[in-house]
Chain A
Amino acid sequence: MKKTLTYVLLLLLVLGTVSGCAPKTEAPAEAPANDPAEEPAAESEPVVEESIILATTTSTQDSGLLDFLLPIFTEETGIEVKTIAVGTGNALQMGRDGEADVLLVHAKADELKLVEEGHGTVRNDVMYNDFVLVGPADGEIIYGNDIGAALAAINEKGLQFVSRGDDSGTHKKELGLWKALSIEPAGEWYIEAGAGMGDVLKIADERQGYTLTDRATYLALKDTLQLEVVVEGDEGLFNQYGIIPVNPNKGDMINEAGALKFMDWLISEEGQELISQFGVEEYGEPLFIPNYGK
């Protein structure tokens, strides 16, 4: 009996492994049907020798946008994109250290500084999404469009607020908002998580508190949370994404050509169009608004 069980187990694992080595290209769920039939085997694609390392933020990855866009990019150009999702601060540092080929983050001021200091070749707008303040539906902050007022109220009443606390773009945005109100958030009500957006949302959910989040991540996790959008539409909640190819003078391992190709693709009509389609089917609204050149 034990022997049979063992062999069945082994068989299943072998079967699984075989099917796991199946084609890499899967039809992305929301992709427009632009390639007729998919090549049944990834082997018939151009052998992917070229690859680029893309440093981006955890919230960008968690939104699922890259899972949607990158396979299309790879199929068209044969360039493999290795996405390393870290906090914004970390991503920028990877740019400075030359450990990545291209950066896609959302901290415009820091991005421009990076290019100014010579670490990046150029910086381009790619898309934006917005931040929203989420919190309990029946909480003390009533739905509105004034983020300043909401944050001031939270501070005054000492309501639970969860901060990213990790030097990410979202974190910087949050700190900027507090600063604009001349408030230094401190106290038991202010929690610094040091975690990605997904985790922070869960913590906020757990404690039925407030947090600042990008709309995309919130939408992706909405069904699992008992938090509602409490403030949106304020100009101060605008979240701009930029792309920066890393300066090739950092070393001969920087894939400048690949990085530029990626940037050009993202800001091309096709790339921008694809961005605007992402999320529509599933959430009824696009998660990101393409705005290169606008």
Chain B
Amino acid sequence: MDYIAQGFGEAIRLLAGFDSEVYRIIALSLLVSTSATVVASLIFVPLGVYLGIKPFRGKRIFSRTVYTFMSIPSVIVGLVVALLLARRGPFGYLRLLYTPAAMIIAQTILVIPLILGLTYNLSKNRGTPLEKVSRTLGGNRLDSVILIIRELKIDILVNVATAFSRAISEVGAVMIVGGNIKGQTRVMTTAISMMNSMGDYPMAIALGIILLVVSFGIHSLIYSYSQEEE
């Protein structure tokens, strides 16, 4: 039992002393997941809003497809991306496998359905009345999309935070396309998994603490922001 307590003690020491390896791992996790979330959001939030208010055929099939992909297992995304980026694969010449870029690509693909689906849903339910008002005041579709994004920005942010959580907590995709290479593609989740396997509990616990802090922290930030807006 005291190896747990000892682990905790070491963990605090690693964090407080700004151990460079631990922080490198943390920084990479944040970089990869934030980039993926930002890229996915910049494109698919406006798209999701637009599709939510635009009438088109096959809306139901669209919803169903997107919702299905929302819960796609991360290992599958990792596998598909790895197959595409492998040396023998169609994009092997880009030499992206086992790099942070590949990890960002995989996580972006992972969160796109989530962002698109959640935003589409939000727009369909709460954006439609806004779209009507905008139209009756002379706005075109672009005006409506901008209006909806501004009016529902808290809800959109919550969705984005959800997507970020999914990204930063997943281990399957980044493990397969990144390879958990020390100093290069090792992120919190892959490191925790490996360190547990190696019995290096202090590091695993240290990273686990940070992972929790980040997860809770992001949502807490959004919550404060939403309270301010009231």
Question: A99 and B198 in contact (CB under 8 A), knowing A16-B18, A84-B181?
Answer: no
Is A199's beta carbon under 8 Å from chain B? yes
Is B91's beta carbon under 8 Å from chain A? no
**Contacts of B199 on A, CB cut-off 8 Å?**
198, 202, 220-221, 223-225
Q: For chain A residues 172-220, which have a beta carbon within 8 Å of chain B?
A: 196, 198-199, 202, 220
Question: A20 and B25 in contact (CB under 8 A), knowing A9-B213, A99-B87, A251-B87?
Answer: yes
Chain A window 15-34, contacts with chain B (Cβ cutoff 8 Å), 1 for yes, 0 for no: 11101111110100000000
B23 touches A16 (CB 8 A): yes
Question: A22 and B179 in contact (CB under 8 A), knowing A2-B224, A9-B213, A220-B198?
Answer: no
**Shortest Cβ distance from B196 into chain A, in angstroms?**
8
Question: A26 and B20 in contact (CB under 8 A), knowing A220-B198, A224-B199?
Answer: yes
Is B43's beta carbon under 8 Å from chain A? no
Is A13's beta carbon under 8 Å from chain B? yes
**Shortest Cβ distance from B100 into chain A, in angstroms?**
12
Contact partner, B198, options A21, A22, A62, Cβ 8 Å: A62
Question: A21 and B27 in contact (CB under 8 A), knowing A82-B179, A82-B181?
Answer: yes
A interface residues, tally (CB under 8 Å): 40
Mostly, the B contact residues are helix
In the bound assembly, the distance between CA atoms of A253 and B3 in angstroms comes to 46
**Contacts of A26 on B, CB cut-off 8 Å?**
20-21
A17 touches B201 (CB 8 A): no
**Contacts of A20 on B, CB cut-off 8 Å?**
20, 22-28
Is B184's beta carbon under 8 Å from chain A? yes
B interface residues, tally (CB under 8 Å): 36
Is B30's beta carbon under 8 Å from chain A? yes
A83 touches B3 (CB 8 A): no
**Contacts of B93 on A, CB cut-off 8 Å?**
253
A82 touches B98 (CB 8 A): yes
**Contacts of B27 on A, CB cut-off 8 Å?**
16-17, 20-21
In the bound assembly, the distance between CA atoms of A203 and B133 in angstroms comes to 63
Q: For chain A residues 117-173, which have a beta carbon within 8 Å of chain B?
A: none
Is A98's beta carbon under 8 Å from chain B? yes
In the bound assembly, the distance between CA atoms of A16 and B29 in angstroms comes to 12
**Contacts of A202 on B, CB cut-off 8 Å?**
197, 199
B198 touches A19 (CB 8 A): no
Question: A253 and B92 in contact (CB under 8 A), knowing A84-B179, A198-B198?
Answer: yes
In the bound assembly, the distance between CA atoms of A40 and B95 in angstroms comes to 29
Contact partner, A3, options B30, B95, B182, B224, Cβ 8 Å: B224
A-B contact pairs, 17 of them (CB 8 A): A2-B220, A2-B227, A6-B224, A13-B26, A15-B18, A16-B27, A17-B23, A19-B23, A20-B23, A20-B28, A22-B23, A80-B184, A82-B179, A82-B184, A84-B181, A98-B87, A251-B88
Return the 8 tightest CB-CB contacts between A and B, nearest first. Answer: A20-B23, A20-B27, A198-B197, A20-B24, A221-B199, A224-B199, A17-B27, A19-B18
Told that A17-B26, A20-B25, A220-B198 touch, could you supply 12 new A-B pairs with CB distance under 8 A?
Answer: A16-B18, A16-B23, A17-B30, A20-B23, A22-B23, A53-B98, A67-B182, A82-B181, A82-B184, A198-B198, A202-B199, A253-B95
Give A residues with C-beta under 8 Å from B. Answer: 2-3, 5-6, 9, 13, 15-17, 19-24, 26, 53, 58, 62, 64, 67, 80, 82-85, 97-99, 196, 198-199, 202, 220-221, 223-225, 251, 253
